[in-house]
Structure 1
Amino acid sequence: MKMPLALPAALATIAAAFTALPAQAQNAYANPVTSEVLQGWDLPDGRRVAALRLTLAPGWKTYWRSPGDAGIPPSFDWSLARNVKSVAITWPTPSVYVDNGMRSIGYSGQLVIPLHVTSARAGKPVRLRGTMALGVCADVCIPHEIDFDTMLDAPDTSPTPAIVAALADVPYSASEAKVASATCRLRPLDDGMEIEAHVTLPNTGGNEVAVIETGTPDLWISEARTTRKGNTLIAVSEMMHANGGAFGIDRSDVRITILGGNYAVDVKGCTAG
């Protein structure tokens, strides 16, 4: 089992290649994505539903939270935010791309990322100031950073249509998709571990792609080999810790997303199989 370049090294390689481009070529890639914060509305429980809207230039795409071997995972830094206790991120259903034989998972065109913001002091203004680090790709892939700074201080209970649409465009839950069972088998390898997930559910249509996440930090997980036998979808991935050391997997933290031609399904947790 071979793990790809560690992310920092991969980003450094991409950045170096981009720096080496002629000035006119760099200008063509100067603005691959623009962004704005959507103010959103207040929920009865005191949380604020806001969103970050990204608009990608034609021919460009960016990545989902688990981007595949060919992608760069996005990350957020909220350290400069004020009166913010937590921010929960909701990812709309992504698309699967295959370029030069490599698979990536992400978005093109416009992407609205809903944010459920919990304030540290209820009833006080929230300053949503942060940074999003992401990868964007066209003919080349480059790291990109978005800075945003907005006061969420206008009380409003009217839902924002663009955010409502993004919240509706999420994978079905296991119960909504009529998942009968989800089991995971773990098998040790010389340099890591193999996970084999069996999910019993109706066919989601087309060429189904499963993505396995574990909730374990610094863990590399290979693209899942996805097959189906009747009503059971089988996904197999190999896992390795970034530092090559031992690690454990809590099955209750395993997350299996199935991206089908008709709809997607988000399965949280699995039992021993």
Structure 2
Amino acid sequence: MTHAPRLPLAPTLIWALMLPIASLAQTVPAPLDDLPPGLQAARLLPGWTDPTGARILALELVLEPGWKTYWRSPGDTGLPPHLDWTGSGNLDHVTLHWPAPQAIRSGEVLEMGYHDHLVLPLTAHPVDPGQRVDIRARIDLGLCKDICVPAGLDLTAPPAGDAPDPRITDALALAPEPRDDSPACHVTPLADGMRVAMDLPPQGATLAAIELTDSPDVWVSGADITDGPTGPQAVVEMVGPTGAPFDLDRQALRLTVIPADDGPATESTGCAPG
């Protein structure tokens, strides 16, 4: 598997160029009737409060025909979304429940994201479970048709409702199912990083992604699906800040699989040496 030597820097450079624009946009929030190209609508669905005091809500994006946006680990050159919760009230942290991604083709490049419509469920964990959680979000994301456009949104959630929202519960059901077993993985050093191959289910996959969950500064290529020694594998290259081989924690590897048959998407964390 060969990748252009400059490719690992592409997403970082794009976001770096966006920072001055994003900073200016945060000081003067755009009204919601002045959405960036490619979006018909964007809002935070208010959701509800669960018995623990956590708030369940969602980001909803309605895309123009032919436009798409990206998943959390989109591939070689996609722009993963960045969400900032500054200005929220009684918020400790947020858990994102990503629906299984779809294939996005840009010429010969296959990436992972969403067409048409995205409902991204969120769990907002409170500092004080006895008090309400107020949510404000700054969202920087990529919107793509023939070209990709970096975009920013400033959103505020209405007060939480009293009952679960079926739009959110339906989206929660689209998240990959956790796998109980750990797939075998094969880790080898490269001149500028590491190569990771993880075994896939026997039926193979139409899409797969490997992430290194404890190292956000490590660039990870899109996964190639290949025939391994014992069956299909997902193979990626990882390049860290030093541009050299590095210690890799196998238990921090996360594999997401969109199967080749009609079965559900699956997700597993950790792997066994192959």
User: TM range, normalised to the smaller chain?
Assistant: 0.7 to 0.9
Asked if 1:116 corresponds to 2:139, the answer is no
Residues in 2 aligned to 1:159 and 1:55: alpha-carbon distance in whole angstroms: 21
Alpha-carbon distance, 1:6 to partner: 3.9
TM-score (norm 1): 0.84
Give CA-to-partner distance per residue, 1:70-128, whole Å, 9 cap, x none: 31011111122111011100110111122211111100111100001111122222220
Alpha-carbon distance, 1:228 to partner: 4.6
User: CA contact under 8 A between 1:125 and 1:151: conserved in structure 2?
Assistant: no
| Matched position secondary structure for 2:171 | helix
In the comparison of the two structures, how many residue pairs are matched? 253
Alpha-carbon distance change, 103 to 83 in structure 1, aligned in 2, over 3 angstroms: same
Instruction: Give the CA RMSD over aligned residues.
Output: 2.6
Residues in 2 aligned to 1:125 and 1:46: alpha-carbon distance in whole angstroms: 8
Alignment match, 2:169: 164
Alignment match, 2:178: 173
Which deviates more from structure 2 when the two are superposed, residues 230-239 or residues 182-191? 230-239
Matches within 5 A, 1:1-273: 2-4=5-7, 5-11=9-15, 30-33=36-39, 34-154=41-161, 156=162, 158-175=163-180, 181-199=182-200, 201-203=201-203, 208-215=206-213, 216-228=215-227, 232-244=231-243, 247-261=246-260, 262=262, 263-273=264-274
Instruction: Give the structure with the higher percent strand.
Output: 1
Residues in 2 aligned to 1:246 and 1:212: alpha-carbon distance in whole angstroms: 17
Alpha-carbon distance change, 14 to 75 in structure 1, aligned in 2, over 3 angstroms: closer
Aligned partner letter, 2:225 = T
User: CA contact under 8 A between 1:3 and 1:240: conserved in structure 2?
Assistant: no
TM-score (norm 2): 0.83
Once superposed, which parts of structure 1, at least 4 consecutive aligned residues long, lie more than 6 Å away?
12-15
Residues in 2 aligned to 1:259 and 1:153: alpha-carbon distance in whole angstroms: 33
Task: Flag structure 1 segments of 5+ consecutive residues without an equivalent.
Answer: 16-28
User: CA contact under 8 A between 1:194 and 1:239: conserved in structure 2?
Assistant: yes
Percent identical among aligned pairs is 36
Residues in 1 aligned to 2:242 and 2:79: alpha-carbon distance in whole angstroms: 19
Alpha-carbon distance, 1:151 to partner: 4.7
| Matched position secondary structure for 1:249 | coil
